Amino acid sequence: MLGKLRIVLWGLVLVAGAALAFLLTRPEQKLPAPTQTELPLAAIGGPFTLVGADGQPFGSTKLAGKPFAIFFGFTHCPDVCPTTLARLTRLRRELGKGDDSFAIVFVSVDPERDGPAEVGKYAELFDTPVIGLTGSQAQVDQVKKQYAVFSAKAPQPGGDYSVDHTASVFVMDRAGKFVSTIAPEESDSVALAKLRRVTG
């Protein structure tokens, strides 16, 4: 009787040992390959100089003292960019603290096609203040790096091209510090809560 129990107990020890060995040696779960530069969140943002719709240099100091929501896209973008900007203007209305509560900033990642006039006319579409910015390729690349934004040309039939790009909005506080992102798939109530945090 005791002998049988001993065999069962040793059996359990073996099972536990095997389970432990499996846990220790199983391969780590593969993470999807990162498609954008990994930056510590606190490092997102920082001073930049781009070009405004008037063709004059636009320094980030012009945004100082006011929270802002910054989005990267291109004016030929038929869906995601106008959808995101329309959403931001709607959220700003719903917040009910006026057009001054936070700035909406649109940065073109397609400076080849988007000059100051193009981003200016695009920003004016929304009937509420939107700051449209572009710059030299080097200036745009620098800001993309600061915000860990990815973009790449995607050729279209007929020689045209679209641009794949990071679709999240970056919410920055009054001091220009990164607070959170707003992803397209997030609900309006979540997005509003994030905007309230910086405009409160």
Which residues are bridge partners to 172 per DSSP? 68, 178
- Choices 21-29, 53-61, 95-103, 149-157 (CB under 8 A): range interacting with another protein: 149-157
Q: Interface with another protein includes 28 (CB under 8 A)?
A: no
- Measured in Å, how far apart are the chain's first and last C-alpha atoms? 73
Nearest distance from residue 42's CB to another protein, in Å?
18
Q: Is 83 in the site for another protein (CB under 8 A)?
A: yes
| Contacting residues for 64 by C-beta, under 8 A, at least 6 apart | 174, 175, 176
3-state class of 103 per DSSP? strand
**130: alpha, beta or left? (left if phi > 0; alpha if psi -120 to 50):** beta
Interface with another protein includes 89 (CB under 8 A)?
yes
35, 56, 187, 189: residue in contact with another protein (rule CB under 8 A): 35
The answer to the question of residue 90 lying near another protein (CB under 8 A) is yes
Question: Using the rule CB under 8 A, is 39 a contact of another protein?
Answer: no
Chain-centre distance of CA 10, in angstroms?
A: 55
Minimum CB distance to another protein smaller for 65 or for 157: 157
Query: CA 99 from chain center: how many Å?
Result: 22
Among 154, 175, 190, 193, binds another protein (CB under 8 A): 154
Residue 161 touching another protein (CB under 8 A): no
Residue 29 to residue 99: CA distance in whole angstroms: 46
- The C-alpha atoms of residue 111 and residue 74 are separated, in whole angstroms, by 8
Rule CB under 8 A: choose which of 53, 131, 133, 167 binds another protein.
Answer: 167
Asked if residue 200 binds another protein (CB under 8 A), the reply is no
Residue with the two structure tokens 């990815």: 150
- Per CB under 8 A, residues contacting another protein are 32, 34-36, 75-80, 82-83, 85-86, 89-90, 117-118, 121-122, 124-128, 150, 154, 156-158, 160, 162, 164-168, 183-185
